[in-house]
Chains A and B, each alone.
Chain A
């Protein structure tokens, strides 16, 4: 038991239940959870995101703190690691692109171990990298796929992704268990598996558990809740898709309405998504914007070719030694102190 993840888990369950109970027949909060909360969440997300990034844009960037992962540009006969220690803007762009789409810095993750009791070794540790790649790409696919509820007609890139995502056709038809209809999307299952792995990693690896806070567990549980409720609605307790699209299309065309026949699980699903959006700008999830501004990755490592002047240096009022001597030359000579210019020369 650990209060960090128990608090997060209970928070997500309570949030789910609030929306689930609030939209039951009779409770009548459909307008709140179907229209008001999603709009507020989107506003909070966009405004909060912009404020956070503009705040970062005002912060100081004093000097090149590029992480050098290879030979710096030097004398012509040294082979430069052009991407890992970039000296041109193009190389920086390539480095940033690979960092953002391939998570190269996670790939470098190592684990320290004592081998034979005394010798320290560094071993490759790729599971975090694999888990993160699976999670982020699955999440991205899920988000793009959901555009089918927010566009009419549905654009070609969404339908293409749906076809690729539904490539594996898994249909289980026994008398007791029937699953796999409508067509199974891989991304949803990969997302759930990856987020569960990322959670279990935080629980079972002692060092990672020690540094994990409620702010790390809460988004994980939130995403578990979103994925579970989505999978539940798609494959198990099927919902009226047309009514749901009517609601979501009402939101994006600013003609909001709550049609008949939208189930409470859907409202709970959408409430958790709204919470995720609203929570986003105030949380560690801002690494979505932050990764572009990582100063160790987005700067050229050209400290030996270019002189970098501290950008907020202001003109300091100085009184040089020459001026000091001009002020006190006669007195210095009288006192027998050495001077650079003799008074006779000045005359």
Chain B
């Protein structure tokens, strides 16, 4: 009918919008970020918990740590192997992982995550 052109135009706009991810990333390869471990981290072999656990649960662990330190005044963390750690982002985590830009930020930027850790922890390596 006489509105066919308008409908076709609308359809073209719709298809352009829904295929946004395809043309937005055109010609770009977006490889997964590679993390760099510092010498200390490599030497330690294992984090406070196994890597698989840390990969997906680190934010939960850090939040529980904060809760235990700030609300309960508990400082010691015992992991599944019975090893003791000081519950501290600045002194324990960032001691090994002192390369925030090449460790924390790479995945956070890739996954568009903005953790509010760095709102307070300005003693992070680049925070001065």
Contact = CB atoms under 8 A, between A and B. Distances in A.
Interface in A27-61: 45-46, 49-50, 53-54, 56-61
Given A151-B21, A252-B22, A50 B11 contact: yes
B67 A173 contact: yes
B46 interface: no
Given A159-B112, A249-B25, A54 B11 contact: yes
Interface in B24-67: 24-25, 28-33, 55-57, 59-60, 63-64, 67
Contacts of A249: 25, 30
A43 to B, nearest CB: 11
Interface residues of B, number: 38
Contact of B112 (A45, A46, A154, A293): A154
Contact of A182 (B1, B22, B24, B113): B113
A132 B7 CA distance: 26
A259 B24 CA distance: 22
B7 A60 contact: no
Contacts of B114: 159, 163
Interface in B93-124: 107, 109-114
Interface stretch (B12-20, B74-82, B83-91): B12-20
Nearest to A57: B7
Given A50-B15, A242-B32, A255-B29, A311 B1 contact: yes
A60 B1 CA distance: 7
B3 interface: yes
Question: Chain B contact residues: over half helix, strand or loop, or mixed?
Answer: helix
A178 interface: yes
B112 A182 contact: no
A240 B55 contact: yes
A320 B75 CA distance: 105
Contacts of B25: 150-152, 249, 252-253
User: Which interface residue of A148, A173, A255, A311 has the most chain B CB atoms within 10 A?
Assistant: A173
A57 B1 contact: yes
A177 B76 CA distance: 21
Nearest to B12: A50
B7 A293 contact: yes
A239 interface: yes
Contacts of A56: 7
Interface in A288-304: 289, 292-293
A162 B113 CA distance: 9
Contact of A240 (B10, B18, B56): B56
B63 A252 contact: no
Nearest to A259: B32
Contact of B8 (A57, A60, A261): A57
Contact of A171 (B11, B24, B63, B109): B63
A61 B1 contact: yes
Contacts of A53: 7, 10-11
26 contacts: A53-B11, A54-B7, A54-B8, A57-B3, A57-B4, A58-B1, A150-B25, A151-B21, A151-B24, A152-B25, A159-B112, A173-B63, A178-B60, A181-B60, A238-B56, A241-B56, A241-B113, A242-B110, A245-B32, A246-B32, A249-B25, A253-B28, A253-B29, A261-B55, A292-B10, A311-B2
Q: 8 closest pairs, A vs B, by CB?
A: A150-B21, A152-B30, A238-B56, A148-B112, A57-B7, A154-B112, A246-B32, A252-B21
Given A152-B25, A153-B109, 9 more contacts: A46-B19, A49-B11, A61-B3, A152-B28, A154-B112, A173-B67, A242-B110, A243-B32, A293-B7
